Amino acid sequence: MNQNRMILKGNICYSRSLSELRILEPGYLLCEDGICRGALEASGGPEALSEEWRQVPVTDYGGCLIIPGMTDLHLHAPQYEFRGMGMDMELLDWLEQYAFPAEAGYAKLSYADRAYEGFVEDLKASFTTRACMFATIHRESAELLMEKLDKAGLAALVGKVNMDRNSPDILREKSPEESAEQTVQWLERTAGRFLQVKPILTPRFIPSCSDGLMERLRRLQKAYRIPVQSHLSENPGEIQWVRELCPESACYGDAYDRFGLFGGEDCPTVMAHCVYSDRREQELMKERGVWAAHCPQSNMNLSSGIAPVREFLDRGIKTGLGTDVAGGHSLSMFRAITDAVQASKLYWRLVDQTKKPLALEEAFYMATVGGGSFFEAAGFAASGRFEPGQSMDALVLDDGPLRASRDYTARQRLERLIYFDDVRTLKAKYISGKKVSH
Amino acid sequence: MNQNRMILKGNICYSRSLSELRILEPGYLLCEDGICRGALEASGGPEALSEEWRQVPVTDYGGCLIIPGMTDLHLHAPQYEFRGMGMDMELLDWLEQYAFPAEAGYAKLSYADRAYEGFVEDLKASFTTRACMFATIHRESAELLMEKLDKAGLAALVGKVNMDRNSPDILREKSPEESAEQTVQWLERTAGRFLQVKPILTPRFIPSCSDGLMERLRRLQKAYRIPVQSHLSENPGEIQWVRELCPESACYGDAYDRFGLFGGEDCPTVMAHCVYSDRREQELMKERGVWAAHCPQSNMNLSSGIAPVREFLDRGIKTGLGTDVAGGHSLSMFRAITDAVQASKLYWRLVDQTKKPLALEEAFYMATVGGGSFFEAAGFAASGRFEPGQSMDALVLDDGPLRASRDYTARQRLERLIYFDDVRTLKAKYISGKKVSH
């Protein structure tokens, strides 16, 4: 018997498609070497299991719901410490007054050590199993963050940030050469070193990256074949700035594309926000296979607006959800799901009544399958569903603390648990089959 | 020495005005017989206290923030049990499929007993010190709810609901006479009976109240001089329905006003939502002194829209915040504050860029002073600020669980605590000077 097999039992719920859930009430979840081997109806008892699985120990979670882990497709780890502050500002002011000064602190490794420790601890205790994140420009701090995430058993893509212009002195790399050189050192030290934590190339956004730097990052991307993350079309002021900086670009996305850092073959790319991505930019995203990381809470907090997510979905643009801590103040992906639904309702009501609001199923899909597919493109095992071959990333949820009546359907209980957004309901969390305690 | 005196010490923070906070870092909060006797700067030590207060015991909360309790100006107690469900629907469908069937259960006192017990327990543990709420049409259940709130030490206005048309059979009172008679019995049994829980007249909304019923409620209001609560201009479909039902009314508000149930002398009235209150309706509200209970989360969940709160404030309409459980899924008034700020940002961005988003100070004011002033009009001691003569309703907040750096200013810590919205930060809660444990 394979010692690396286990079975979880509970009420299983995951996305069959964008608009449909698969529900097993109850079900068995088969796991081998950290990989899901399928989900089976369990109401008939162990008979449903094939002979080779009948001897495998079953962890029975009774009436709990078991759902796939959440993938947070965009957040800033160094901003976690000051989340929920300065929320009366718009993007560019907020960057200058809060984000940049705080990030400068991470030049000191001792500072980063303390701050990242708290962040990783809270991320571990959250509903998130995978996260794609920005660190700061500081090579050693970024490496430290990766070590901490690895030790906590989390799956992550982490970016040492590149920025060599239009930034405060304390947070500006002195030249494109220096920025690129630091990036190479960081890549050499981290690529392939961790089990489930990998580097991702991270030009902060067009305004803070010179053409010279972008050109060097293009070369690094080709050489190391690593994925790319950045920001796109978040705020009107920012977009106008990019227009002035890059008059030759057809759109904001094109300013990345000119340097080969906007998707395409061997360059999985995720762009955060896309609030103002028009038809032309969306078509470019679709063509290049660029992922959109929709961050509704941040887009409200920074008065950015509401991204046209329904258009993304209709157009077939791959879309996930991000908390964008600390533009977003909450680290919770359950909150991101409900924020996405709420924002889509206001978009429908206030902007365009031909754009149907997101159903819970659709936002849930984005938070699991949508984000998970980016990690798959970036070299991880697939995640987000309990299909054979996917990574066994699972959340076990107990709605006891919510005074739940047991008469609710699994679908109703899922909705309640997501809206309640209470980590006390998180009974267990598995990443690649390993139980991550908290 | 007066035995009923006490002093709280901590970092005190409350609204000086709509846009300004008064902060004492640290300060003394003087309390006598449940009433605030003022807040004093404490940095110089006990010298700041007059001789008669120097012997009074001081409860020192160290670095904690002490702020006024929150007033929830609109919620539905019987809907608490199914909050966070059916969130994919608009108002009228949601009422029919979720709210009405659930409310029908409260015909059984045993059912109400169990459900209200959970609601009151959670309300007690929340940031809310006062709440203005709907019960159901059931007289005895409403009375039971009032008993439980009173026992828990909470301050509340509770309405037995009136509805005699356009409602499912199980939730429709058989005639205006029966509805009025039940209301009289309920008033006779509850008015003046509790320390801080009082009845409030509660026609559900125009569509569910016949003219005959409204006429009877007018007479009851005059006879008992009790305050009034209802719903106003929440959703386009509802407004259109009211237009059809009351073709003679100039606006939705006028349909209440024709029956003398829309503010004016001796008739303190609060109307929930007011999402679509136009200039005319707002002017009527202003003229009659009607309070608006702004419920941003519910207005998102039910795709209603965003209320023009900046206009309310500019026009001098008294405005408070409500969770509107279960149109809102969260019982937290801290969440209501951040929802109000976020909604106002989207209103500014998407609807009208002349309407400045709410500052945190303004939403905080609405949640404390705004709601508190309605309770004052309804015969309670004033609340919402730590001024002499106001009720001592206070929250003691400890941001320890938030990994707070102590370098933040009191204003920054207040913002963080509100955005974090975590009841674990609630160290103590006082209502009328009494510590309500949780």
Using the beta-carbon criterion (under 8 Å), do B83 and A303 form an inter-chain contact?
Answer: no
The average pLDDT across A209-216 equals: 98
* CA-based nearest residue in chain B for residue A82: B416
Comparing CA positions, the residue from A410, A367, A428, A411 lying closest to residue A74 is A367
Per CB-CB distance under 8 Å, the chain A contacts of B116 are none
Using the beta-carbon criterion (under 8 Å), do A420 and B81 form an inter-chain contact?
Answer: no
Q: Is the sign of the CA dihedral A234, A238, A240, A242 positive or negative?
A: negative
Main-chain dihedrals φ then ψ at residue B271, nearest 5 degrees: -115, 125
Which pLDDT belongs to residue A90?
A: 82
> Which of B84, B118, B303 lies at the smallest CB-CB distance from A415?
B84
CB pairs under 8 A between A and B: 98
Q: How confident is the model at residue A406 (pLDDT cuts 50, 70, 90)?
A: low
Token couple for A319: 């879309």
Main-chain dihedrals φ then ψ at residue B270, nearest 5 degrees: -120, 135
Other CB atoms closer than 10 Å to residue A379's CB: what's the count? 13
Cα separation, A107 vs A348, in Å, equals 44
B85 interfaces chain A, CB cutoff of 8 Å: yes
Beta strands across the sheet bearing A269-273: A228-232, A269-273, A291-294, A319-321
Please report, for residues A19, B332, B425, B435, the alpha-carbon distance to residue B400 in angstroms, rounded to integers and kept in the order given. Answer: 41, 20, 7, 21
Comparing CA positions, the residue from A243, A224, A227 lying closest to residue A235 is A243
Cα separation, A350 vs B399, in Å, equals 37
**DSSP-assigned beta bridge partners for residue A434:** A431
- The model carries a pTM of 0.98
Residue B3 scores a pLDDT above 80: no
A339-388 pLDDT per residue, tens? 999 999 999 999 999 999 999 999 999 999 999 999 999 999 999 999 99
B111 interfaces chain A, CB cutoff of 8 Å: no
Mind giving me the DSSP string for A339-351? HHHHHHHHHHHHT
DSSP letter for A87, please.
T
Which pLDDT belongs to residue B400?
A: 83
Residue A400 scores a pLDDT above 90: no
Which pLDDT belongs to residue A91?
A: 85
Enumerate residues 123 to 152 of chain B having a beta carbon within 8 A of any beta carbon in chain A. none
The average pLDDT across B85-111 equals: 91
Return the SS3 of B6.
strand
Cα separation, B125 vs B423, in Å, equals 7
- Report yes or no: B319 and B294 within 8 Å, Cβ to Cβ: yes
Residue type, B146: M
Using the beta-carbon criterion (under 8 Å), do A350 and B349 form an inter-chain contact?
Answer: no
- Report yes or no: B70 and B368 within 8 Å, Cβ to Cβ: yes
* CA-based nearest residue in chain B for residue A121: B403
* CA-based nearest residue in chain A for residue B341: A301
> Which of A87, A306, A412 lies at the smallest CB-CB distance from B346?
A306
Cα separation, A127 vs A124, in Å, equals 8
When mean pLDDT is compared across A34-43, A259-268, A416-425, B95-104, the lowest value belongs to B95-104
Q: How does B40-65 read in b/e, with b if 16+ C-beta sit within 10 Å?
A: bebeeeeeebeeebeebebeebeebb
A436 interfaces chain B, CB cutoff of 8 Å: no
* Residues 6+ away with beta carbon under 8 Å from A73: A131, A132, A270, A272, A291, A293, A320, A321, A322, A370, A371, A374
Please report, for residues A193, B138, B243, the alpha-carbon distance to residue B354 in angstroms, rounded to integers and kept in the order given. Answer: 53, 46, 30
The Cα of A398 is separated from the nearest Cα of chain B by a number of Å equal to 16
Per CB-CB distance under 8 Å, the chain A contacts of B403 are 81, 118
Q: For chain B, report the end-to-end CA distance as a whole number of angstroms.
A: 30
Q: What is the mean pLDDT of chain B?
A: 96
Return the SS3 of A163.
coil
* Residues 6+ away with beta carbon under 8 Å from A199: A146, A157, A158, A159, A160, A186, A187, A190, A191, A226
Complex ipTM above 0.85? Answer: yes
Q: How many CA atoms lie within 13 A of B336 on its CB side?
A: 34
The answer for B34, left when phi > 0, alpha when psi is -120 to 50, beta otherwise, is: left
- Report yes or no: B360 and A87 within 8 Å, Cβ to Cβ: yes
Q: How confident is the model at residue B139 (pLDDT cuts 50, 70, 90)?
A: very high
**DSSP-assigned beta bridge partners for residue A295:** none
Q: Is the sign of the CA dihedral A16, A133, A330, B328 positive or negative?
A: negative
Residue B324 scores a pLDDT above 60: yes
Cis-peptide, bond into residue B48, ω within 30° of zero:
no
Report CA B367 to chain centroid distance, whole Å. 8
Using the beta-carbon criterion (under 8 Å), do A305 and B349 form an inter-chain contact?
Answer: yes
**DSSP-assigned beta bridge partners for residue A66:** A12, A396
Q: For chain A, report the end-to-end CA distance as a whole number of angstroms.
A: 30
Q: What is the mean pLDDT of chain A?
A: 96
The answer for A12, left when phi > 0, alpha when psi is -120 to 50, beta otherwise, is: beta
Residue A183 scores a pLDDT above 70: yes
DSSP letter for B381, please.
P
A337-349 pLDDT per residue, tens? 999 999 999 999 9
Cα separation, B124 vs B72, in Å, equals 12
A48-105 pLDDT per residue, tens? 999 999 999 999 999 999 999 999 999 999 999 999 999 988 888 888 988 999 999 9
Please report, for residues B48, B49, B51, B216, the alpha-carbon distance to residue B1 in angstroms, rounded to integers and kept in the order given. Answer: 18, 15, 11, 51
Which pLDDT belongs to residue A425?
A: 95
Comparing CA positions, the residue from B431, B437, B438 lying closest to residue B70 is B431
Per CB-CB distance under 8 Å, the chain B contacts of A345 are 300-301, 303
- Report yes or no: A60 and A357 within 8 Å, Cβ to Cβ: no
Q: Is the sign of the CA dihedral A115, A119, A122, A124 positive or negative?
A: negative
B301 vs A89, which has greater pLDDT? B301
**DSSP-assigned beta bridge partners for residue A24:** A12
Task: Give Dmax over CA atoms of chain A in angstroms.
Answer: 67
> Which of A118, A345, A360 lies at the smallest CB-CB distance from B303?
A345
The average pLDDT across A240-258 equals: 97
Cα separation, B89 vs B85, in Å, equals 10
Residue B403 scores a pLDDT above 90: no
Using the beta-carbon criterion (under 8 Å), do A348 and B303 form an inter-chain contact?
Answer: yes
Q: Are strands B269-273 and B228-232 parallel, antiparallel or unpaired?
A: parallel
A274 interfaces chain B, CB cutoff of 8 Å: no
B372-395 pLDDT per residue, tens? 999 999 999 999 999 999 999 999
Enumerate residues 17 to 46 of chain B having a beta carbon within 8 A of any beta carbon in chain A. none
Q: How many CA atoms lie within 13 A of B182 on its CB side?
A: 24
- Report yes or no: A186 and A139 within 8 Å, Cβ to Cβ: yes
Q: How confident is the model at residue B438 (pLDDT cuts 50, 70, 90)?
A: low
Main-chain dihedrals φ then ψ at residue B155, nearest 5 degrees: -100, 135
Using the beta-carbon criterion (under 8 Å), do A301 and B345 form an inter-chain contact?
Answer: yes
Return the SS3 of B36.
strand
User: Count of residues for chain A?
Assistant: 438
A284-321 pLDDT per residue, tens? 999 999 999 999 999 999 999 999 999 999 999 999 99
Q: Are strands A426-431 and A394-397 parallel, antiparallel or unpaired?
A: antiparallel
Other CB atoms closer than 10 Å to residue A427's CB: what's the count? 17
Which pLDDT belongs to residue A126?
A: 98
* CA-based nearest residue in chain B for residue A414: B85
Cα separation, A133 vs A198, in Å, equals 11
Cα separation, B277 vs B269, in Å, equals 16
The secondary element (H helix, E strand) that includes residue B151 is helix B139-151
DSSP letter for A195, please.
S
* CA-based nearest residue in chain B for residue A343: B300
Residue type, B72: D
Residue A249 scores a pLDDT above 90: yes
Using the beta-carbon criterion (under 8 Å), do A350 and B306 form an inter-chain contact?
Answer: yes
Cα separation, B149 vs B119, in Å, equals 10
Return the SS3 of A36.
strand
Enumerate residues 353 to 392 of chain A having a beta carbon within 8 A of any beta carbon in chain B. 357, 359-360
A329 interfaces chain B, CB cutoff of 8 Å: yes
Please report, for residues A239, B74, B115, B133, B151, the alpha-carbon distance to residue B118 in angstroms, rounded to integers and kept in the order given. Answer: 50, 18, 5, 15, 14
Using the beta-carbon criterion (under 8 Å), do A87 and B350 form an inter-chain contact?
Answer: no
Comparing CA positions, the residue from A111, A305, A31 lying closest to residue B348 is A305
